[in-house]
Amino acid sequence: MRAARPFFIRLFAGLTRPRLTVLGNEFAGEVEAVGRGVTSFTVGDRVFGFDGSRFGAHAEYLAVPEDGFLATVPAGLTYEEVAPSTEGSLYAQTLIRSAKVRRRHDVLVNGATGAIGSAAVQLLHGLGARVTAVCHGDHADLVRGLGADRVIDYTAQDFITDDQTYDVVLDAVGKSSFGRCRRLLRPKGLYLSTDLGPLSQNLALPLVTPLLGGRRVRFPIPRTPDRERCGSSRSCSRPGRSGRWSTGPIRWTRSSRPTGTSRRVRSSAAW
């Protein structure tokens, strides 16, 4: 997105250069001040969250709405562990909710060790779904630890050749297509992807496939994150399970100050 790829992102982020210059969506830190009327957080609380709509999390201070994508840090976890857990879990939850996954649904997650994939495995396991995870064989134990019931090593087998069929195929790394995964889906099965797919087909297929009956494609766009959704990041941020989230430690810079308004939490990074 920061590199203006795909190109149409410029329509939203700035035509010739980025409109927002302080980057960063994910944050963690200590609440330094609260606005009048804020009851959920107090000064000194260790919090973390995500705001994908306006960037700015690389600043030293950040103003966050009390009802935004914000939660207290679970005991025993560091800022470095929790901050990167937010974005992937937001996307994972959006996909899983859109598919209305329930207990005993069979779900295949391709890219199960990625930021989105590893969150998806944990959330699906929590819902009682039966999860088949596709990842590099070296990471099989890791994804089993996250809750996967079966693991397919993509270096040994193309998951498309799997004998089992699924209620949902969730491609969390954008390496497949609906056409290739169709045979893995049960008659009313759903194909979800984090990426646009060949020729951006995942934008059109969600409109076309429901008209044909049978197997469908969904490409849900995350809603503005809220506190309820941050709760899912919190539940994903368990000790020993956060090593593969996203891109690693985030550095904050002294480049912006909040415009503190009422009902806003102001947090500052402690690292």
Ligand X SMILES: NC(=O)c1ccc[n+]([C@@H]2O[C@H](COP(=O)([O-])OP(=O)(O)OC[C@H]3O[C@@H](n4cnc5c(N)ncnc54)[C@H](OP(=O)(O)O)[C@@H]3O)[C@@H](O)[C@H]2O)c1
Q: According to the binding rule CB under 6 A, does residue 154 interact with ligand X?
A: yes
Given the rule CB under 6 A, which of 9-17, 31-39, 109-117, 209-217 is the region that contacts ligand X? 109-117
Q: According to the binding rule CB under 6 A, does residue 139 interact with ligand X?
A: yes
* Integer Cα distance of 144 and 131 in angstroms: 10
In the chain, the N- to C-terminal Cα span, in Å, equals 26
Applying CB under 6 A, the site for ligand X has a residue count of: 22
Q: According to the binding rule CB under 6 A, does residue 150 interact with ligand X?
A: no
Instruction: Return the closest-CA partner of residue 123 out of 101, 138, 142, 141.
Output: 101
Give exposure, 110-127, as e/b (b: 16+ Cβ within 10 Å): bbbbbbbbbbbbbbbbeb
Q: Give min distance, CB of 117 to ligand X, in A.
A: 6
Given the rule CB under 6 A, which of 28-36, 171-179, 248-256, 263-271 is the region that contacts ligand X? 171-179
Given the rule CB under 6 A, which of 70-78, 124-132, 135-143, 180-188 is the region that contacts ligand X? 135-143
Instruction: Return the closest-CA partner of residue 73 out of 84, 63, 64.
Output: 84
Q: According to the binding rule CB under 6 A, does residue 88 interact with ligand X?
A: yes
3-state secondary structure of 63: strand
3-state secondary structure of 193: strand
Q: Give min distance, CB of 205 to ligand X, in A.
A: 17
DSSP string, 43-66: TT-EEEEE-TTT--TTBSEEEEET
* Integer Cα distance of 111 and 108 in angstroms: 10
* Integer Cα distance of 257 and 8 in angstroms: 30
Across the beta sheet with 26-34, the strand order is 61-65, 264-268, 26-34, 46-50, 70-72
Q: According to the binding rule CB under 6 A, does residue 83 interact with ligand X?
A: no
Instruction: Return the closest-CA partner of residue 21 out of 255, 266, 268.
Output: 255
Q: According to the binding rule CB under 6 A, does residue 26 interact with ligand X?
A: no
Q: According to the binding rule CB under 6 A, does residue 111 interact with ligand X?
A: yes
Q: What radius of gyration do the chain's Cα atoms show?
A: 19
Q: Which two tokens stand for residue 193?
A: 């992807």
Contacting ligand X (CB under 6 A), which of 99, 146, 173, 181? 173
Q: Give min distance, CB of 112 to ligand X, in A.
A: 7
Contacting ligand X (CB under 6 A), which of 108, 135, 184, 190? 135
Contacting ligand X (CB under 6 A), which of 4, 40, 195, 204? 195
Nearer to ligand X, 64 or 134 (CB): 134
Residue nearest to ligand X (CB): 114
Q: Give min distance, CB of 110 to ligand X, in A.
A: 5
Query: By the criterion CB under 6 A, which residues form the site for ligand X?
Result: 87-88, 91, 110-111, 113-117, 134-136, 139, 154, 172-175, 194-195, 246
